[in-house]
Structure 1
Amino acid sequence: MKWLNFTITKLTFSLILGILIAYYSAISWEWSCLIFGGLFLLLCIFFWIARKQFIQKIYFGVMALLTMTSLGMVIENFHQEKNHALHYSHVEKRTSVEFRIREVLKSNLYDDRYFAEVIHVNDSAASGKILVHIQKDTTSEALTVDAIVYSEKLPTLVKSALNPTTFDYKAYLEDKYVYEQLFLKSGEFLVAAHAPKTLYGHAASLRNTIHHRLQEYGFKTDELAVIEALLLGQRQQISKELQTNYVNAGAIHILAISGLHVGILLFLLQFLLRPLHRIRYGKGFTLLLILSILWSFAFVSGLSASVVRAVTMFTAIAVATHFRRQTNTLQVLTVSMFFLLLCKPHFLFDVGFQLSYAAVFAIVTLNPLWKKGWNPKSFLGKSIWGLLTVSLSAQLGVLPLSLYYFHQFPGLFFVANLTIVPVLGIILAFGILVIMLAYFQCLPEFLGLMYRFIIEQMNIFVSWIASHEQFVLTDIPMRFWQMIGCYVVLIAFAQYIHLPKGKQLKIALYSILVCQALWFFDRFQHVPTVDSFTVFHQNRHTIVAAQSGTHLQMFHNLDSSATAKNYIIKQQLQQDFIKEITHDSLQNVFKIDDDYLLRIDSLGIYNIPTLQPKYVLLSNSPKVNLDRVLTTLQPSQIIADGSNYRSYVLRWKTAAEKQKIPFHYTGEKGFFVISSESLD
């Protein structure tokens, strides 16, 4: 594949390697700078030597790639905000915090949520990001971007995932450089009467004005949410039901501004501004105007990874077109990825960023292959076949990632794409006109009604597709090395179809062996080698599991309907190394190898003759004197799960500490595992 031979491709892979090394290793900021400085000095020496050589050696190229790898390490460490001296995490004794709201997030039933930038800690300058939760009540109003807030209540560390295989929200926030969160109620904070406006604040004010103007013209909640997602990049107002419908229909990409949306916008701008080419310097002015509009659009829509990627890519295409350079789409994609990662290395770990690039790379690589197989002559046939192959290519490109992150596949994705994508350009162009007219309060009523009807029908159609639940394949297990193996096969066979030679066929066949090896390696990593007993964290209920080889026996007090919906149990079903799962009611005594676990529930029974348990599990808030329990049973470990009142847990923790017995509360430390190894 010629793309792999491009210099920018090699440099981008080296940059990614450096980011990954710094992300997963403990290389410090100082050492990464030292390594980069040494390699850069050697690179300059090799460059000076290479200038005097007629036949170039490989040494200079290798040194350039190593230098770029070290640059990736430097960039990753530089963007780690904890490495900065002013970061709030370096302040040991905090008494107050002052922060500025930077982004409004989707609220839940109880809290409004925000990303904020710390300005001061203890009245001294500080930096860093925090997640802010403000409890909803009838007296408080939602905060806006740029609002400055002061509080004497302090942020706390974000907790890790409380159960195995569940989404690790802490890791997700850390990829956004957010390490702590702050929970506030009315009366626990003060909002500054006047706060200076930043560009982020002006963009948010513009979006809020558009939102209120559209409300004035009678747009309903769901229609308004879709318009703001399509044209403003804001998905906070989308209801859970509506989002689930778009996910199950395989059309969620329509609600995220991406290359499709920006490409349509670029086409419209080039068409509308073409008359400017007739004046002197008109082409250069047109290019500057187009780039200004594209980046203004990206800024107003919130600068998400997918928007920035798309605008960066089409910026490169627009510039190349202006200078009449032949544009290789793969090169343009690689250039955009390179500069994005230079500026924002953690985009590499953004799911939207990964899916976006995987989809576009797949379309560019696989779509020509479908045309080789069949290329209709009629305009209608070409249009339908083109839409179908583009959709199929994109789905193949993102399928391993989708299964890895979401464990489901929408079987009717092509129906939604064949129907919505052809008219998406009209929807976007019409939407831009409606927004502009609504903003200036001169939107004709018939235009508003017409656009509301279009969006409403699109939502109804997507809902109809999503209602065919039998075509939505769920609970599909896929882990990291399995995903990598799938991409190895996909890339190798795509390369063979492009260049059907004997060598490429061998590589394609070897890729199957590599994929099988990766799957066996993954299975070897995850197949349990020791028996274990797990206490999960579940609010208001108790769930425990005993695993013996590939058999998992789950004990809980959930009814049948709650069992089918329970997230913890569903996650265990997705573990493909588990061959058999059985469900039983909770017991009070569990035998774990040669030891026992006693569960003390709301009945408070614990004094059982001849029973000397090593572990005691407190569940359903038993009204017992823990000091007396500990004196009587003398266990080695106390465990309290999520079914207990928090006030009881605090009292028990104090009693356990008093008698120097380890205490584990699943609401703080997460699930508790007893393995055969720990019993030896």
Structure 2
Amino acid sequence: LFFNPNLLFDIGFQLSYSAVLAIVYFQPKIAGLIYVKNRWLRWAWELAAVSLAAQLGTAPFSVFYFHQFPNYFLLSNFVVIPAATLILYAAVALFVFSPVPYVNVAVAFVLKWILKIMYACIVWIEHLPYSLSIVWIDGWQLLSLYAALFAVMWWLDKKSFISFATVVCLLLIFFVVDARNRYYSARLNGVVAYNDYKATVLDIIGDEHIVLTTDSLRAELLGADFWSKNALPTPQIVSLDTISECAFVKDGNRYLVLTDNYFRYKKSAKPLEVDYLLVGKAVYPNQRLIKEFVRPKYLIALADVSERNVQKYKLLTEKENIDFYSVGHSGAWINGFHY
């Protein structure tokens, strides 16, 4: 830290040191809660105490950075911790015996199978029902949790009323902030066009959560953090690859999404009146589109629209007195959100 203070903000550094500090302080106290006579049961309990102590130290950081909590961490640690010890010994043995024919092959074979078995067990645990909980906390909640953890250490040492009251107050702050965040999340309502040139992703949030996209994997990658932060349910994914246009009404506003030139050579006696027209890269900008076939109040060029076409849309909308927004230029388009 003296030579590189920025390490203090490195995720690996934070997780490593919080785990070590928590194990050093909490593991003896947790292990001392239950006295076990049987040798093997005592080993299992001490291993569980290590896992619980490490989780106490790292859980707030893990949830803050990765937005998930491993529900079966005790089970997985019963596999990983012994396996890690065996892997360490086997790796050292492989290094020592690497010049020795046959022996090096045997050690490498053992090391390979330890790794395979450990990986298979972890994958099995990962696929168990409810193996992960999606959780999101903000910076204030992270600070309140670690402050509460230090207050717990103070209380365990002093057993004073002030230390206990401090723990309660800090946890109360955590839950008040959580309640506030959930209150605002429950009132989220609107449409988001994500800024991603590789795919069209429209997030429709309200009583139902629907995502219109040309790439479901990109949609999940882009939206995962936003969805977990706002405690949104898993969305219904609707593919735009099989349809040339999509129309929907949201809070009295009419939306039309165009992904190709379906309207370019069509005729209409009267233009379709919409509030928001969202166009993708395959839609050719021309005056007929926004004058003869669709009459929008706002035109939104999605992130995959080329710079050349953005400039064309800008000129056309200025001429027709239509409000214009470019996702590629101005970032994600967010409409209708209110608290």
Distance 2:153 2:41 in 1: 24
Aligned to 1:492: 151
Give the deviation of 1:402 after TM superposition.
1.5
Aligned to 2:171: 512
| TM alignment of 1:580-599, pairs within 5 A | 588-591=246-249, 596-599=254-257
For residue 135 of structure 2, give the secondary structure of its aligned residue in structure 1: coil
Distance 1:675 1:418 in 2: 49
CA RMSD of aligned residues (A): 3.9
Q: Does 1:616 align with 2:277?
A: yes
Q: Does 1:556 align with 2:215?
A: no
Distance 1:477 1:546 in 2: 21
Contact 1:616 1:637 in 2 (8 A): yes
Distance 2:106 2:330 in 1: 53
| TM alignment of 1:539-554, pairs within 5 A | 542-548=200-206, 551-554=207-210
TM-score, with structure 2 as normaliser:
0.75
Aligned to 2:101: 444
Amino acid at match of 1:616: L
Aligned to 2:26: 366
Aligned CA distance change for structure 1 residues 523 and 544 (closer, same or farther; 3 Å): same
Aligned to 1:574: 228
Which structure ranks higher in relative contact order (CA pairs < 8 Å, sequence separation ≥ 6)?
2
- 1:120-142 Cα shifts (integer Å, max 9, x gaps): xxxxxxxxxxxxxxxxxxxxxxx
Distance 2:220 2:234 in 1: 18
Contact 1:489 1:508 in 2 (8 A): yes
Contact 1:541 1:557 in 2 (8 A): yes
Aligned to 2:321: none
Distance 1:553 1:412 in 2: 29
Distance 1:380 1:354 in 2: 33
Distance 1:416 1:443 in 2: 35
Which one of the candidate residues 95, 103, 124 is aligned to 1:467? 124
Identity of matched residues, %: 21
Aligned CA distance change for structure 1 residues 421 and 545 (closer, same or farther; 3 Å): closer
TM-score, with structure 1 as normaliser:
0.41
Aligned CA distance change for structure 1 residues 401 and 552 (closer, same or farther; 3 Å): farther
Amino acid at match of 1:464: C
Distance 1:575 1:506 in 2: 30
Contact 1:369 1:497 in 2 (8 A): no
For residue 306 of structure 2, give the secondary structure of its aligned residue in structure 1: helix
Distance 1:630 1:382 in 2: 75
Give the deviation of 1:393 after TM superposition.
0.6
Contact 1:616 1:638 in 2 (8 A): yes
Amino acid at match of 1:508: V
Distance 2:218 2:314 in 1: 38
Which one of the candidate residues 176, 181, 184 is aligned to 1:522? 181
Aligned to 1:400: 60
For residue 370 of structure 1, give the secondary structure of its aligned residue in structure 2: helix
Amino acid at match of 1:405: Y
For residue 46 of structure 2, give the secondary structure of its aligned residue in structure 1: helix
Contact 1:534 1:544 in 2 (8 A): yes
Contact 2:67 2:137 in 1 (8 A): no
Amino acid at match of 2:257: R
Give the deviation of 1:389 after TM superposition.
0.9
Aligned CA distance change for structure 1 residues 421 and 600 (closer, same or farther; 3 Å): closer
Q: Does 1:641 align with 2:306?
A: no
Unmatched segments (≥5 aa) in structure 1:
1-339
Distance 2:91 2:115 in 1: 14
Aligned CA distance change for structure 1 residues 447 and 555 (closer, same or farther; 3 Å): closer
Give the deviation of 1:363 after TM superposition.
0.9
Give the deviation of 1:370 after TM superposition.
1.4
Aligned to 1:673: 334
Distance 1:414 1:384 in 2: 11
For residue 444 of structure 1, give the secondary structure of its aligned residue in structure 2: coil
Give the deviation of 1:417 after TM superposition.
3.1
For residue 32 of structure 2, give the secondary structure of its aligned residue in structure 1: helix
For residue 210 of structure 2, give the secondary structure of its aligned residue in structure 1: strand
- 1:507-549 Cα shifts (integer Å, max 9, x gaps): 233233222223234346x43767422123567754323334x
Distance 1:388 1:616 in 2: 57
Aligned length: 323
- 1:437-456 Cα shifts (integer Å, max 9, x gaps): 54xxx243223322332232
Aligned to 2:191: 533
Distance 1:565 1:658 in 2: 31
Contact 1:362 1:397 in 2 (8 A): yes
Which one of the candidate residues 249, 260, 266 is aligned to 1:602? 260
Give the deviation of 1:619 after TM superposition.
2.9
Give the deviation of 1:379 after TM superposition.
5.4
Distance 1:379 1:503 in 2: 40
Which one of the candidate residues 142, 161, 176 is aligned to 1:502? 161
Distance 1:497 1:669 in 2: 53
For residue 533 of structure 1, give the secondary structure of its aligned residue in structure 2: strand
Amino acid at match of 2:101: P
Aligned to 1:664: 326
| TM alignment of 1:30-429, pairs within 5 A | 340=1, 342-376=2-36, 380-422=40-82, 424-425=84-85, 427-429=87-89
Distance 1:492 1:357 in 2: 18
For residue 117 of structure 2, give the secondary structure of its aligned residue in structure 1: helix
Contact 2:301 2:310 in 1 (8 A): no
Distance 2:337 2:43 in 1: 61
Give the deviation of 1:426 after TM superposition.
5.1
Aligned CA distance change for structure 1 residues 527 and 410 (closer, same or farther; 3 Å): closer
Give the deviation of 1:361 after TM superposition.
1.8
Give the deviation of 1:479 after TM superposition.
1.8
Distance 2:33 2:211 in 1: 54
Distance 1:625 1:412 in 2: 54
Contact 2:278 2:299 in 1 (8 A): yes
Give the deviation of 1:352 after TM superposition.
1.0
Distance 1:634 1:437 in 2: 77
- 1:140-172 Cα shifts (integer Å, max 9, x gaps): xxxxxxxxxxxxxxxxxxxxxxxxxxxxxxxxx
Amino acid at match of 1:626: N
Contact 1:410 1:471 in 2 (8 A): no
Aligned CA distance change for structure 1 residues 411 and 581 (closer, same or farther; 3 Å): closer
- 1:568-587 Cα shifts (integer Å, max 9, x gaps): 56556535554796666876
Distance 2:15 2:197 in 1: 33
Distance 1:521 1:470 in 2: 32
